[in-house]
């Protein structure tokens, strides 16, 4: 074997095997392993998710003997959009850099980070340090060779997913906003409420008087600080319940238009990844009269003018260079008033002062940096022996020790375990106390982690300090900050310092100062007292010199309008930023393309797809800008999922237009907007390309044309990503629930009937409902059937579990079969296999099940529950035996009738039922149809329908007769045409449509010009675009009505023509049989009345019926039965056996002899022989009967004798 061959073996076998064996997942080398978990929402439910992940990875690491458990790092309530803002992740990365961690486990790519750039950077940095990450869900191990493209794809998918979720939330907010239904937050002066099903605000009278007083004082000329001081002095609480008011709080209230009864939205826009707020990104929207006003619009506008005037008077200092925040920010507290000291920068002298002191309510003096510096040095000298020659080393070791002991993960695990146990054993009060202690622990370690940069800075500074003299000469507040956690100050000579090692040094006697009671000069003033001091305003919040307006609280119809147009360019900027310089394929450059746009209104980029209006403006400009494009319309489905083609009416209409050859090109935002189902996307694009007039699709976001030979491959990749994105969230939730169930933990607030769950997910019995459940079990043990129980509950007006008046038999059956009423819980009894239809099915091995005993308090004792199961099983066994399979004779259910027939009395659907009659040989079946409310009285006890059962034969015969009547009718076809003509467009309609089309064409150009103007001129008012698109929407709606009528009329004529053709063929071939094809294809609906009248609604917009009635059908059936019986009897009497019997009876015979004679030749019962043979002969006079004695019998007996011809 030469060297080349050896090298091939090394590269293809030995190197990959060696790398694989070196993976911590497979190898047996000692490895320091940590796990990382993250949840993005700090809610109780997410806290359980965090406990779930921590538990999973703790056990996973401990189950590997060669893995050394380093800890589980986690971030609670932190978004994954910015890895630098994830303190738990940053601490993990730092520990990996320090060599404390060799291998990291995490659930999936999105848990580590949803920022693709940050994630790739983290993986590469760790790879360079020899630290690998294992993404469990994607099965990616970065400690060995891995597919970088695949990781990049997953990272991009995670980022796209969080963008999609964020935009979905924004879109929901946007839709409510456009309908004039804005969300409301808590605001001082109001309380949130619900009116007519919509969120609104109600006036809080006392707080409203305070708001009016603030506006009154400000219009009188009071300063913001003066108002804040007066409010604090009077003891009026702030919106957060605090005693001290700030001038900025007062200013914010003066600038809030909500107090005028109007709601202004879109003031700020938050960037998803930087978390920064920006103003002017979108047009602000004001919705008028959404709630009662507190002050008038005139008062508000005067306050704004005064604010602007005061702002202009203030000297505008030069923009200072951005300075670092003071090192002791949020770490100094006032002992007297318990408020934090804030830092104020001044050119001459900066100072620290508490909030209460700023409004004159606390006597603690201001402290300069120099004063603070001296106070800390004094405490340092008291805490440490500064004359010790090794003091610098001692100070250094304190910092180093804390930096090395910042591994809080084990302490966190202890807390989480204790809280999980507590939720099962302790009371709510004890749990709240434990959670409070845990939050204090998190706050403490948060401080230590936050102070790490100060400690590092101090350690770096200490490296250059050689002596104590150098220490005192060079040390500043920034360096001293490294040793201090908190400072509490009562005065310059009385204070406490809490050091890094949690020891406390007290200077002077802070306790000699009483805690300041804010507003001690006067008792708290209520809003009612404030209102009497109004000077410029009246009690309605209006100026006193105006006529008294209507009382505060009256509202009118809401209006939505865009304000501040110069600041909002959402439509125009999005168009300007879009890719208008795309390259069309060469084959499409040769002709003018009839171009249509498809939008599925969900959420992609809110600035472009915020509403139908925005999309019309965007795509109208997009298409009209290119001279090679001819505008062919916009098709939009609103609020429809992309996983399925169901209910996407506009999309199907677009496809029909393509099939008719009216469209050459479809433009859509992205593949996910077109469809989130890969197979649907590929099938539709391929079908469009194979049409006689090929239609291509341009996906704008991906810059993809479907006439590209590589388009199918790219569509498969991107379509797969879009489809995976839609199921990722559900998979994550399912994983968490399964992992909890393995531990015997079920955290679901949705409980069964009879229970409710508290905030800790513990189930408690609802006694009123539990009584119903106990009664149901008791009735079963008494012998009642499930049917009887459901009827009794309905008759007694007991609400069902869903709040309905009628109890369903299946509901009672589920209650009887549920293990939850014995206190147990079966997890994953039903599972969702198909994500597209989202319908749960009975779990028959598709997923693992977990049975948790004693999950909650039982309503039914386990012994009684088992007894009831035995009763139900025995009933089921007996029913099974009775319904054992046997040959069916008679009628069969006609499935074509299902979901086609409706009751003419109540409108409910007709459902099927069957009767089973047993004769001597087999079972004979009769099929019936009846109204749902009539057929199931136990379900609709309180809402019955007074109708009847209809034989299926009647329904079928009625349709047969209908077809016969139509085939012989001279007016049906013309009547149907007359009905269709009413749908067709009249000359007036055509003129109106043409006029709208012309106006639409002109308005499209106007819109194009308006958008072009807005892009060229900075600050163009986008209200013009909004007004034009609003008008366009109305025109599109009008044209849609005409278009639908035209399409319906054309389709109706086609359907009518096809029906008459098929009917003619049917009447030739099978005129007396029920035509399933005609019924299925042409009958949309059949309305059945109690009399038996059936009105058929055809799919060509026409209804027809016959004069038949059900009673006549029953009479006819009775006559038919009689005739059939007569014919059978006649045939029997004509049989040769009967002829022999008659000859035998020429001599007198008794019944016993006659029966024995005939049964030797054929079997016939005595009653049947008497009724069918003997009685008719006696009645006709051909046979006589008489009583006589026989020699062998002493009593008289009936004798039968046939008369001879002479006797007749």
Residue 947 CB-half CA count within 13 A: 32
Q: How far apart are CA 754 and CA 746, in angstroms?
A: 17
Residues 6+ away with beta carbon under 8 Å from 287: 177, 180, 182, 262, 263, 264, 265, 558, 559, 560
Q: What is the pLDDT of residues 227-254, one digit of tens each?
A: 988 888 888 889 888 888 888 899 999 9
Of residues 398 and 62, the one with the higher pLDDT is 398
Same domain, 27 and 161: yes
Among residues 512, 536, 555, which one ends one of the domains?
A: 512
Which range, of 521-525, 664-668, 733-737, averages the lowest pLDDT?
521-525
* Dihedral sign, Cα of residue 612, residue 616, residue 622, residue 628: positive
Distance of CA 852 to the CA centre of its chain: 28
Q: pLDDT band at 1065, cuts 50/70/90?
A: very high
Q: How far apart are CA 431 and CA 859, in angstroms?
A: 26
Longest dimension (CA), the chain: 161
> Is 829 in contact with 840 (CB distance < 8 Å)?
no
Find residue 757's DSSP bridge partners: 763
| Per-residue model confidence (pLDDT) at position 433 | 85
Three state DSSP letters for 45-93:
HHHHHHHHHHHHHHHHHHCCCCEEEEEEEEEECCCCCCHHHCHHHHHHH
Q: How far apart are CA 64 and CA 1163, in angstroms?
A: 84
**Token pair 């302490």 in the structure block, residue:** 411
Q: What is the percentage of the chain residues whose pLDDT exceeds 90?
A: 18
Mean pLDDT of 1031-1056: 86
Q: How far apart are CA 40 and CA 389, in angstroms?
A: 50
Say if residue 724's pLDDT is above 80.
Answer: no
Q: Is residue 895 part of a domain?
A: no
Same domain, 454 and 578: no
**58: exposed, middle or buried (Cβ count in 10 Å: 0-12, 13-18, 19+):** middle
Q: How far apart are CA 941 and CA 903, in angstroms?
A: 17
> Is 765 in contact with 857 (CB distance < 8 Å)?
yes
Tokens of 492: 């310059």
| Per-residue model confidence (pLDDT) at position 719 | 59
| Per-residue model confidence (pLDDT) at position 728 | 53
Q: How far apart are CA 1037 and CA 634, in angstroms?
A: 11
Among residues 696, 726, 756, which one ends one of the domains?
A: 726
Q: Is residue 732 part of a domain?
A: no
Mean pLDDT of 11-24: 54
Same domain, 405 and 503: yes
Q: What is the pLDDT of residues 151-174, one digit of tens each?
A: 777 777 777 767 766 766 676 666
- What are the start-end ranges of the H helices in 539-648? 570-577, 606-609, 612-625
Q: What is the pLDDT of residues 896-945, one digit of tens each?
A: 898 899 999 888 899 888 887 766 566 677 888 988 888 665 555 566 78
Say if residue 780's pLDDT is above 80.
Answer: yes
Mean pLDDT of 186-208: 85
| Per-residue model confidence (pLDDT) at position 560 | 43
Q: How far apart are CA 190 and CA 206, in angstroms?
A: 10
Of residues 1010 and 999, the one with the higher pLDDT is 999
Q: How far apart are CA 253 and CA 234, in angstroms?
A: 18
Q: Is residue 388 part of a domain?
A: yes
Q: How far apart are CA 1035 and CA 1109, in angstroms?
A: 49
Kindly report the CATH number assigned to the domain that includes residue 821: 3.90.1750.20
Which range, of 86-95, 399-408, 830-839, averages the lowest pLDDT?
830-839
Among residues 145, 173, 201, which one ends one of the domains?
A: 173
Q: What is the pLDDT of residues 95-130, one digit of tens each?
A: 898 888 999 999 888 888 888 888 888 888 888 888
| Per-residue model confidence (pLDDT) at position 44 | 45
Find residue 601's DSSP bridge partners: 638
| Per-residue model confidence (pLDDT) at position 890 | 59
Same domain, 701 and 761: no
Q: pLDDT band at 496, cuts 50/70/90?
A: very high
Q: How far apart are CA 901 and CA 1084, in angstroms?
A: 9
Q: pLDDT band at 407, cuts 50/70/90?
A: confident
Say if residue 777's pLDDT is above 90.
Answer: yes
Tokens of 1098: 């055809």
Q: What is the pLDDT of residues 549-575, one digit of tens each?
A: 443 333 334 344 444 333 334 444 444
User: How does DSSP assign 271-340, residue by residue?
Assistant: -TTT--EEESSS-EEEEETSS--SS-HHHHHHHHHHHHHHHHHS-----PPP-PPPTTTT-EEETTT-PB
Average pLDDT of the chain to the nearest whole number: 79
Q: How far apart are CA 1146 and CA 455, in angstroms?
A: 133
Domain carrying residue 130: 19-173
Angle (deg, nearest 10), helices 116-128 and 148-178: 150
Q: pLDDT band at 960, cuts 50/70/90?
A: very high
Q: Is residue 705 part of a domain?
A: yes
- Conformation bin of residue 793: beta by default, left when phi > 0, alpha when psi is -120 to 50: alpha
| Per-residue model confidence (pLDDT) at position 665 | 93
Same domain, 116 and 36: yes
The total of structural domains in the chain comes to 7
Same domain, 968 and 1093: yes
| Per-residue model confidence (pLDDT) at position 555 | 37
Same domain, 551 and 574: no
Q: pLDDT band at 527, cuts 50/70/90?
A: very low
> What is the three-class DSSP state of 167?
helix
Q: What is the percentage of the chain residues whose pLDDT exceeds 70?
A: 77
| Per-residue model confidence (pLDDT) at position 1014 | 67
| Per-residue model confidence (pLDDT) at position 717 | 66
| Per-residue model confidence (pLDDT) at position 629 | 84
Q: Is residue 499 part of a domain?
A: yes
Of residues 130 and 1193, the one with the higher pLDDT is 130
Kindly report the CATH number assigned to the domain that includes residue 39: 3.40.50.1390
**CA-CA distances (angstroms) from residue 792 to 457, 753, 811, 812?**
79, 18, 14, 11
| Per-residue model confidence (pLDDT) at position 325 | 84
| Per-residue model confidence (pLDDT) at position 538 | 83
Same domain, 316 and 221: yes
Q: Is residue 626 part of a domain?
A: yes
Say if residue 1200's pLDDT is above 80.
Answer: yes
> What is the three-class DSSP state of 1110?
helix
Say if residue 297's pLDDT is above 60.
Answer: yes
| Per-residue model confidence (pLDDT) at position 975 | 93
Mean pLDDT of 617-631: 79
Kindly report the CATH number assigned to the domain that includes residue 1166: 1.10.10.10
Q: Is residue 917 part of a domain?
A: no
**840-842 vs 901-903, strand pairing mode:** unpaired
Residues 6+ away with beta carbon under 8 Å from 758: 428, 764
Of residues 603 and 590, the one with the higher pLDDT is 590
Q: Is residue 932 part of a domain?
A: no
| Per-residue model confidence (pLDDT) at position 736 | 57
Same domain, 553 and 573: no
| Per-residue model confidence (pLDDT) at position 902 | 93
Residues 6+ away with beta carbon under 8 Å from 487: 328, 331, 332, 333, 375, 376, 495, 496, 497, 498
Q: What is the pLDDT of residues 1006-1034, one digit of tens each?
A: 877 777 776 665 444 556 777 777 787 78
Same domain, 503 and 618: no
Q: How far apart are CA 733 and CA 727, in angstroms?
A: 10
> Is 673 in contact with 604 (CB distance < 8 Å)?
yes
Q: Is the pTM of this model over 0.75?
A: no
Q: What is the pLDDT of residues 1140-1159, one digit of tens each?
A: 888 888 888 888 888 888 88
**214: exposed, middle or buried (Cβ count in 10 Å: 0-12, 13-18, 19+):** buried
User: How does DSSP assign 515-545, residue by residue?
Assistant: PP-TTTTSPPPPHHHHGGG-SSB-TTSSBTT
Closest by Cα among 535, 515, 514, 530 to 236:
530
> What is the three-class DSSP state of 508?
coil
Find residue 950's DSSP bridge partners: 929
Same domain, 319 and 383: no
| Per-residue model confidence (pLDDT) at position 190 | 92
Q: How far apart are CA 754 and CA 749, in angstroms?
A: 13
Same domain, 398 and 466: yes
Q: How far apart are CA 496 and CA 375, in angstroms?
A: 10
Residue 73 CB-half CA count within 13 A: 26
Mean pLDDT of 979-1005: 88
Q: What is the pLDDT of residues 851-910, one digit of tens each?
A: 778 888 899 999 999 999 999 999 888 888 766 555 555 568 888 898 899 999 888 899
């Amino acid at each position: 074997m030469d060297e080349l061959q050896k090298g091939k073996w090394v590269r293809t076998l030995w190197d990959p095997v060696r790398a694989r064996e070196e993976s911590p997942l497979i190898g047996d080398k000692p490895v320091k392993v940590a796990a990382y978990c993250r949840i993005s929402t700090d809610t109780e439910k997410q806290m359980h998710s965090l406990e779930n992940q921590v538990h999973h990875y703790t056990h996973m690491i401990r189950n590997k003997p060669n893995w050394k458990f380093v800890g589980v790092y986690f971030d609670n309530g932190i978004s994954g959009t910015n890895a630098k803002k994830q303190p738990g992740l940053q601490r993990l990365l730092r520990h990996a850099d320090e060599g404390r961690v060799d291998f990291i486990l995490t659930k999936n790519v999105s848990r580590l980070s949803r920022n693709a750039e940050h994630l790739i950077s983290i993986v590469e940095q760790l790879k360079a340090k020899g630290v690998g990450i294992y993404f469990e869900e994607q099965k990616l191990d970065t400690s060995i060779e891995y597919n970088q493209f695949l990781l990049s794809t997953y990272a991009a998918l995670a980022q796209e997913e969080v963008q999609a979720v964020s935009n979905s939330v924004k879109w929901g907010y946007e839709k409510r906003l456009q309908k004039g239904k804005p969300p409301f937050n808590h605001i001082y002066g109001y309380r949130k409420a619900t009116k007519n099903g919509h969120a609104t605000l109600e006036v809080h009278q006392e707080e409203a008087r305070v708001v009016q007083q603030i506006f009154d004082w400000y219009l009188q000329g009071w300063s913001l600080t003066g108002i804040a001081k007066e409010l604090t002095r009077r003891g009026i609480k702030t919106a957060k319940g605090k005693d001290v008011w700030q001038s900025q709080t007062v200013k914010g209230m003066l600038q809030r238009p909500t107090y005028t009864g109007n709601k202004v939205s879109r003031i700020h826009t938050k960037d998803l990844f930087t978390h920064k707020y920006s103003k002017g990104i979108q047009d602000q929207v004001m919705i008028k009269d959404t709630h009662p006003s507190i002050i008038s619009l005139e008062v508000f506008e005067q306050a704004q003018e005064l604010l602007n005037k005061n702002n202009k008077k203030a000297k505008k200092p030069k923009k200072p260079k951005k300075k670092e925040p003071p090192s002791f920010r949020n770490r100094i507290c006032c002992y007297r008033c318990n408020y934090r000291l804030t830092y104020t920068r001044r050119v001459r002298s900066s100072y620290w002062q508490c909030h209460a002191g700023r409004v004159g309510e606390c006597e603690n003096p201001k402290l300069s940096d120099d004063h603070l510096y001296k106070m800390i040095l004094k405490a340092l000298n008291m805490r440490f022996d500064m004359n010790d020659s090794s003091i610098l080393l001692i100070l250094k070791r304190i910092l180093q020790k804390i930096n090395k002991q910042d591994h809080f993960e084990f302490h966190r695990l202890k807390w989480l375990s204790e809280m999980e146990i507590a939720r099962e054993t302790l009371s709510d009060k004890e749990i709240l106390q434990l959670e409070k202690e845990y939050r204090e622990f998190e706050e403490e370690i948060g401080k230590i982690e936050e102070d790490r940069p100060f400690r590092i800075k101090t350690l770096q500074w200490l490296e250059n300090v050689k002596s104590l003299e150098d220490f005192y000469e060079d040390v500043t507040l920034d360096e001293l900050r490294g040793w201090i956690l908190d400072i509490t100050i009562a005065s310059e000579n009385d204070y406490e310092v809490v050091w890094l090692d949690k020891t406390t040094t007290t200077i002077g006697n802070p306790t000699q100062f009483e805690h300041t009671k804010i507003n001690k000069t006067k008792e708290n003033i209520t809003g009612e007292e404030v209102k009497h001091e109004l000077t410029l305003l009246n009690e309605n919040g209006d100026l006193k010199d105006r006529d008294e307006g209507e009382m505060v609280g009256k509202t009118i119809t809401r209006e939505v309008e865009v304000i501040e147009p110069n600041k909002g360019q959402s439509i125009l900027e999005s168009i300007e930023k879009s890719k208008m310089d795309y390259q069309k394929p060469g084959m499409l450059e040769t002709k003018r393309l009839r171009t249509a746009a498809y939008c599925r209104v969900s959420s992609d980029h809110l600035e472009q797809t915020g509403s139908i209006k925005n999309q019309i403006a965007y795509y109208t400009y997009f298409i009209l800008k290119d001279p090679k494009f001819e505008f062919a319309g916009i098709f939009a489905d609103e609020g429809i999922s992309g996983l399925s083609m169901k209910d996407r009416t506009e999309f199907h209409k677009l496809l029909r237009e393509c099939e008719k050859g009216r469209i050459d090109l479809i433009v859509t935002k992205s593949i996910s907007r077109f469809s989130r189902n890969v197979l649907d996307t590929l099938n539709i694009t391929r079908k469009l390309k194979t049409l006689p007039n090929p239609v291509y699709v341009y996906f704008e976001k991906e810059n993809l044309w479907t006439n590209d030979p590589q388009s199918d491959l790219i569509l498969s990749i991107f379509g797969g990503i879009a489809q995976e994105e839609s199921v990722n969230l559900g998979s994550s939730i399912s994983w968490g629930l399964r992992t909890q169930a393995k531990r015997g933990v079920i955290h679901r607030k949705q409980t069964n009937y009879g229970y409710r769950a508290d905030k800790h997910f513990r189930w408690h019995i609802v006694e009123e409902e539990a009584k119903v459940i106990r009664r149901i079990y008791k009735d079963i043990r008494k012998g009642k059937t499930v049917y009887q129980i459901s009827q009794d509950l309905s008759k007694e007006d007991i609400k069902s579990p869903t709040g309905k008046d009628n109890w369903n038999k299946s509901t009672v059956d589920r209650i009887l079969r549920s293990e939850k009423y014995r206190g147990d819980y079966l997890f994953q009894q039903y599972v969702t296999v198909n994500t597209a239809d989202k319908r749960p099915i009975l779990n028959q091995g598709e997923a693992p099940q977990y049975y948790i005993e004693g999950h909650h308090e039982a309503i039914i004792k386990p012994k009684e529950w088992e007894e009831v199961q035995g009763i139900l099983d025995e009933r089921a066994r007996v029913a099974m035996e009775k319904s054992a399979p046997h040959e069916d004779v008679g009628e069969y259910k006609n499935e074509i009738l299902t979901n086609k027939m409706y009751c003419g009395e109540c409108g409910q659907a007709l459902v099927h039922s069957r009767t089973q009659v047993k004769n001597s040989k087999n079972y004979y079946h009769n099929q019936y149809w009846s109204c749902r409310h009539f057929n199931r009285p136990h379900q609709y006890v309180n809402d019955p329908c007074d109708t009847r059962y209809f034989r299926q034969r009647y329904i079928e015969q009625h349709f047969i007769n209908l077809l016969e009547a139509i085939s012989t009718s001279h007016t049906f076809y013309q009547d149907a045409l007359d009905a269709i003509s009413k749908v067709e467009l009249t000359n007036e309609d055509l003129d109106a449509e043409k006029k709208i089309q012309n106006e639409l064409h002109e308005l499209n150009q106007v819109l194009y010009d308006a958008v072009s103007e807005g892009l060229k001129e900075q600050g163009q008012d986008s209200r013009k675009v909004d007004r034009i698109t609003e008008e366009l929407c109305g025109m599109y709606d009008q044209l849609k009505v005409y278009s639908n009528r035209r399409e319906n009329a054309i389709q109706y004529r086609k359907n009518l023509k096809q029906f008459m053709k098929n009917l003619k063929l049917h009447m030739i071939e099978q005129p007396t049989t029920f035509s399933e094809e005609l019924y299925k294809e042409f009958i949309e609906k059949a309305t059945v009345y109690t009399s038996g009248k059936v009105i058929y609604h055809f799919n060509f917009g026409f209804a027809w019926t016959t004069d038949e009635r059900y009673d006549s059908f029953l009479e006819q059936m009775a006559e038919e039965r009689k005739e059939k019986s007569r014919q059978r009897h006649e045939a029997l009497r004509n049989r040769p056996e009967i002829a022999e019997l008659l000859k035998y009876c020429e001599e007198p015979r008794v019944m016993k002899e006659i029966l024995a004679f005939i049964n030797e030749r054929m079997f016939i019962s005595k009653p049947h022989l008497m009724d069918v043979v003997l009685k008719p002969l006696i009645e006709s006079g051909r046979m006589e009967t008489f009583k006589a004695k026989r020699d062998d019998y002493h009593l008289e007996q009936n004798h039968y004798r046939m008369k001879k011809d002479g006797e007749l």
